[in-house]
Chains A and B, each alone.
Chain A
Amino acid sequence: MRLFKTPNINFMKYRFIALAFSAAVILAGILNLAFGQGFKFGVDFRGGTLLRILFAQPTSVGAVRQDLRAIGLGEASIQEIEKGGREFQIRTQLPKAEGEADLELEAHEIMANRVIETLASEENAIDRERGLKDLNAIDEKSLAFLLEPVIPEESAAAAEKIARFRKDQGLIRSLDEVERLGLAAEAVAELREKTYLGSLAVLSRETVGPQVGADLRKKATLATIWALVGMLAYITLRFKVAYGVAAILTLAHDVLFTLAVFSFSSRELNLPVVAAVLTIVGFSINDTIVIFDRVRDNLKILRRSPFASILNRSLNEMLSRSIITSGTLFLTVMALFLFGGEVINDFAFTMLVGVIIGSYSTIYLSCPIVLAWQRVFKTQKTPGKK
């Protein structure tokens, strides 16, 4: 089965249009970063606390923000995550006065605790004051300890049962649910007396101090640059300088283009996104090298043809492969995007953008750059040994 016969499209003809298009997008991205909203750095890079909270009762972003405004955190970023208005992601940042030293991690911690307390219901606060334990937060060991006086033999097993139920549900909403787990009546009675059901559960909590954030920003930039240098060296070794330079310029374009698109989305720049960008770099180079490899072959066979037509021919010959590969890759990333869950959603989104950009740039940028290089420096066509 074949998608189509080897086509004969003059890709090189469109190179200036493509160049203009890319330049426009990247310029828009830069303008957006300089004068517009810019990147929203996540806690990984900026420091702060990221909370994922599951509420017992559905609520809304507006209501959550209303509550947080009371403690001066109206500016916190609040995001709803599927699950019918019950799960939210909240990122807080401490306001930092000009010239003030970076705050220590503890300050972020205290802030996060206040967020959790504020969002919990008032009944919870009263119950806590009375010395009751939150059944939605208590650890398994303490729970077993609590149940020991009434069911000395089965306290550990009962605690484990409750913990497992809580793990599956995320949150216990009513003690009737616990009763149905087949616990002894005395145990349930004890729980009713000694515990209360918190109106929210903290699913995850990540606090990054300012030092680490600054460190990571530096490291992420360095990793990207070194990866590019490493690849430049390898390609130069395997092909020729022109190809190495073309590949790296193409990659730099891919990174900038993806980041430009990203800056217009409302997503936060965090570590997984950097990983995605570096993966795009990997895939784009893969694509580019496959084409260059074919150019290397064709140069040996078609010595007399002009360089531009050899490039065109190589692109055309590899077109069905490019479409199949990018297509399957797109499918797998799409699976990640749709089913991979919230945690890697930003990663998958960035990859989706990058896969398209990577295929596009290979055809419309990498080959034209090699061509331009050859014309400017008038080097030989033979691209090195195989």
Chain B
Amino acid sequence: MKKGLRWKIVLVVAVVVLAVVVSLPLGEKIHLGLDLRGGIHLLMQVVTDDAVIIETNQEILRLQEQMKKRDLVFAAVTNPEIGVILVSGLNPDQEVKVRDVLEDSFREWDTAMGPGRATLTMKPQVAQYLRDQAVNQAVETIRNRVDQFGVAEPTIQRQGGITGDRIIVELPGVDNPDRVKNIIKTTALLEWSLVIAGPAQDEETLLSPYGGQVPEDGRVVKGDPKRRAEGYFLVKKVPTVTGKDLRIVRRGTDEWNNPAVSFSLNPDGARRFETATGENINKLMAIILDDKVQSAPVINSRIQGDGIIQGNFTVEEAEDLVLILKSGALPASMKYLEERTIGPSLGADSIRAGLMASVVALALVIIFMIFYYRLAGINAVVALILNTILVVACLAYFKANLTLPGIAGIILAIGMAVDANVLIFERIKEELALGKSIAASIVTGFKRAFSAIFDSNVTTIISAVFLFQFGTGPIKGYAVTLIIGLVANLFTAVFVSRLIFDLTVSAKARQMSI
């Protein structure tokens, strides 16, 4: 045996062994995509404006405080558009002082002074930071919730880098989409607020004692018809306690043994809660979740740090609410842009169909190659099978998902692998027809066919890369297997196939089976 051959054999054997080791056991190492396994794919958008709005509202409060503290006169502080604060009705004599306050204490804002007014615009990098943080926090919160719900191998990914506001969530094997969607989407902003008036049938009746205007310290909240609160409530604008003051949340029961959520507040929250309830006995306290009143029980006595949330919950709903409250509120609201739910039986169907198509395609190709190229055909078949093994190993190694389009990608890569072999064999035949020796024909055949194989594979890889770039889930799966298949092709068709020829065809042979 020639010396060069020995290390080539070692290399090929090593690659095959490595590939097999990496991909076994198949069931564990190959991750099936949602279309084969069933599950939920969600694409959502974080409404990052919310983060800017929340920050702006807090800053408005701080601004009013600072102005009052320094006895600066102003008529109103308004929020004409997102990220802009307008202070109007300033005393012209105090403008310099106002400017000093703004420049000292509001460094995250660009200030512009006009006659009797000041405009604060949030600095772009600050707004950008807030938005970025909101998306990151949302990803964390969603991950928390999904983990607590108990989903195996979830994918939660931010899309589009630092300016991207989209999040992809993929939950394989989940069979109750509505419940999961609800858990993920709920903002979970929980507030306890004292009720000023209500409940009333509609907003007009509610506000008629106040001349149709919402009082300055109040806001109108609607009851959640699914819960125990109907109609409209006028509640205090500043909540007594919020979800941030929660120390312990767990599923409990109310006095009639219905599912409910029981909670304990942290010391600070408990103190505020105690004072508020003590001062407002016989009034209502609204429990508001995401701007909907869940229930508004009567305050019977001074309540310390514990209580329950009632609201006609089913056991599941109560459990979900506990889970959501534990994981904390989302920093901004979410919008669903796309959702795909694949049932498990359709996935099973697709696996059957995909396997069937692959087996038939592979069988057809093998039969044809052996029938047409005889012994050399076996050579090609070995290369094809090796190619498939390599693709599977790469999928296992990179933890890429195998999807149905992915199977199509493998089948098409097999098609390309056949083409590489055909190119080589046809070239060898041509050389043989010219009367060259067998050994020389093999050498020239491979050498001559190589440029065509290389160029065609590279160009196809180029198009597959663009496919990968823009593709969503399943299409990506297709591009990945196709790219891997094509790269593997360069190794198996050119290197391995050649090696087998070198090993099996002796230099002195008179005839070649091709």
A204: chain B residues within 8 A (beta carbon): 340-343, 346
Question: B430 contacts the other chain (Cβ, under 8 Å)?
Answer: yes
Tell me if A328 and B368 are in contact (CB < 8 A): yes
Any A CB within 8 A of the CB of B408: yes
The reply to whether A341 and B350 contact each other, CB–CB distance below 8 Å, is yes
B358 to chain A, nearest CB (A): 8
Contact of B339 among A207, A333, A340, A344 (CB under 8 A): A207
Using Cβ atoms and an 8 Å threshold, which residues of chain A touch B341? 202, 204-206
CB contacts (< 8 Å) of A93 on chain B: these are none
* A126 CB-CB contact with B under 8 Å: no
State A70–B7 Cα separation when bound (angstroms).
74
Residue of B nearest to A222 (CB): B470
* Shortest beta-carbon distance from B41 to chain A in Å: 8
B475 lies within 8 A of A329 (CB): no
Does B58 lie at the interface of the complex (its beta carbon under 8 Å from any beta carbon of A)?
Answer: no
Asked if B337 and A142 sit within 8 Å, CB to CB, the answer is no
B13 interface contact, C-beta 8 A: no
Contact partners of A230 in chain B: CB under 8 A: 462-463, 465-466
Residues of B within 8 A of A290 (CB): 419, 423, 452, 456
Task: Given A167-B344, A325-B419, check contact A289 B452 (CB 8 Å).
Answer: yes
- Asked whether B343 lies within 8 Å of A202 as measured between CB atoms, the reply is yes
Q: In whole angstroms, how far apart are the Cα atoms of A318 and B345 in the complex?
A: 47
Interface pair A212/B338, CB less than 8 Å apart:
yes
Question: Which residues of the other chain, B, contact A386 by a CB distance below 8 angstroms?
Answer: 451
Tell me which of A208, A294, A327, A343 contacts B452 (CB under 8 A): A294
Enumerate B407-449 residues with CB–CB distance to A below 8 Å: 408, 411-412, 414-416, 418-419, 422-423, 426, 429-430, 448
Task: Tell me if A231 is interfacial: C-beta within 8 Å of chain B.
Answer: yes
Q: Which of B340, B361, B429 has the most CB of A within 10 A?
A: B361
Partner pick for A293 among B177, B364, B452, B472, CB 8 A cutoff: B452
A327 to B364, CA, bound (A): 11
Cβ contacts under 8 Å, A224 to chain B: 466
The digit string for A213-251, where 1 denotes a CB below 8 A from any CB of B, is: 000100110111011001100110010000000000000
Q: Please determine whether A227 and B345 come into contact, CB atoms closer than 8 angstroms.
A: no
Residue among B316, B345, B423, B462 with most chain A CB within 10 A: B462
- The distance in angstroms between the C-alpha atoms of A212 and B349, with both chains bound, is 28
User: Within the complex, which residue of B336, B361, B455 is in contact with A335, where a contact is CB–CB below 8 Å?
Assistant: B361
Majority-rule SS of B interface residues: helix
Q: Complex formed: what's the CA distance from A258 to B347 in Å?
A: 29
| Residues in A neighbouring B368, C-beta threshold 8 A | 327-328, 331
Indicate if the CB atoms of A336 and B361 lie closer than 8 Å. Answer: yes
Kindly identify which residue among A223, A235, A342 contacts B466, using a CB–CB cutoff of 8 Å: A223
Is B475 in contact with A343, judged by CB distance below 8 angstroms? no
B345 touches A170 (CB 8 A): yes
List, in ascending order, chain B residues with CB within 8 A of A339's CB: 353, 356-357, 360
Question: Does B373 contact A271, Cβ atoms closer than 8 Å?
Answer: no
B99 lies within 8 A of chain A by Cβ = no
The answer to whether B338 touches A238 (Cβ under 8 A) is no
CB distance from B200 to the nearest CB of A (A): 27
Residues of B near A226 (CB, < 8 A) are 466, 469
Task: Assess whether A332 is in contact with B448, with CB atoms less than 8 Å apart.
Answer: no
Residues of chain A with a CB closer than 8 A to B466's CB:
223-224, 226-227, 230, 278
Kindly state whether residue A42 has any CB partner on chain B within 8 Å: no
Task: Tell me the total A-B contact number using a CB cutoff of 8 A.
Answer: 237
| Min C-beta distance of B48 to chain A, whole Å | 15
- A1-B372, A206-B341, A226-B466 are known contacts. Are A272 and B459 too (CB-CB below 8 A)? no
Contact B459 A231 (CB under 8 A): yes
Q: How far is the CA of A340 from the CA of B408 in the complex (A)?
A: 8
Whether a CB of chain B sits under 8 angstroms from the CB of A104 is: yes
> B278 at interface (Cβ–Cβ under 8 A)?
no
From 450 to 509 in chain B, residues with beta carbon under 8 angstroms from any chain A beta carbon are 451-452, 455-460, 462-467, 469-472, 474-475, 478-479, 482
A384→B216 CA distance, assembly (Å): 80
Chain A positions 271-297 with a Cβ under 8 Å from a chain B Cβ: 271-272, 274-275, 278-279, 281-283, 285-287, 289-290, 293-294, 296-297
How many Å lie between the Cα of A224 and that of B470 in the bound state? 10
CB distance from A280 to the nearest CB of B (A): 10
Q: How large, as a class, is the contact surface on chain B? A: 35 or more
Q: Is the CB of B361 within 8 A of A279?
A: no
Say yes or no for B191: interface residue by CB 8 A criterion: no
CB distance from B481 to the nearest CB of A (A): 12
Q: Is the CB of A272 within 8 A of B475?
A: yes
Nearest Cβ on chain A to B107's Cβ, whole angstroms: 36
| A293 to B458 CA separation, bound complex (whole angstroms) | 14
Contacts of B416 in A (CB 8 A): 283, 286
Q: Is the CB of B463 within 8 A of A227?
A: yes
Among A104, A222, A344, contact of B335 (Cβ-Cβ < 8 Å): A104
Contact of B415 among A289, A328, A340 (CB under 8 A): A328
B340 x A1 contact (CB < 8 A)? no
- A231 engages B462 (CB within 8 Å): yes
Which of A171, A286, A320 contacts B419 (CB under 8 A)?
A286
A368 interface residue (CB < 8 Å to B): no
The answer to whether A332 and B411 touch across the interface, beta carbons within 8 angstroms, is: yes
Interchain CB contact under 8 A, B404 and A167: no
Whether the Cβ atoms of B456 and A286 lie closer than 8 Å is yes
Q: Is the CB of B337 within 8 A of A344?
A: no
- Report which residue of A235, A333, A341 has the largest number of chain B beta carbons within 10 angstroms of its beta carbon: A341
A100 at the interface (CB under 8 A from B): no
Contact A335 B411 (CB under 8 A): yes
Distance in Å: Cβ of A271 to nearest Cβ of chain B: 5
Question: What residues on A are CB-neighbors of B316 within 8 Å?
Answer: 142
CB-based contact A328/B423 at 8 Å: no
- Measured between beta carbons, the chain B residues less than 8 angstroms from A201 are 343, 345
Query: Does A163 reach chain B (CB closer than 8 Å)?
Result: yes
Known: A222-B470, A234-B458, A285-B456. A341 touches B338 (CB 8 A): no
B175 at the interface (CB under 8 A from A): yes
Q: Is A2 an interface residue (CB 8 A)?
A: yes
- In Å, the complex CA distance between A142 and B314 comes to 12
* Contact, CB under 8 Å: B343 / A336: no
Find the B residue at minimum CB distance from A203: B346
B415 touches A105 (CB 8 A): no
Report how far A170 CA is from B348 CA in the complex, Å: 9
A211 contacts B by Cβ under 8 Å: yes
- Nearest CB in chain A: distance from B26 CB, A: 20
Can you sample 16 A-B contacts with CB below 8 Å? A1-B372, A1-B373, A2-B429, A167-B344, A168-B348, A170-B346, A171-B345, A223-B470, A234-B455, A234-B458, A235-B455, A275-B475, A286-B419, A335-B411, A336-B408, A338-B360
A-B pairs with lowest CB-CB distance, top 6: A341-B353, A139-B176, A282-B460, A286-B456, A335-B361, A293-B452
Beyond contacts A205-B339, A227-B463, A238-B455: 17 other A-B pairs, Cβ-Cβ < 8 A, are: A105-B336, A163-B175, A170-B346, A202-B341, A204-B343, A208-B337, A209-B338, A223-B466, A226-B469, A275-B467, A290-B456, A321-B423, A324-B422, A327-B368, A331-B361, A336-B411, A338-B357
Q: Which residues of A contact B (CB under 8 A)?
A: 1-2, 52, 54, 104-106, 139-142, 145, 163, 166-171, 201-209, 211-212, 216, 219-220, 222-224, 226-227, 230-231, 234-235, 238, 271-272, 274-275, 278-279, 281-283, 285-287, 289-290, 293-294, 296-297, 317-318, 320-321, 324-325, 327-329, 331-333, 335-336, 338-344, 347-348, 351, 386
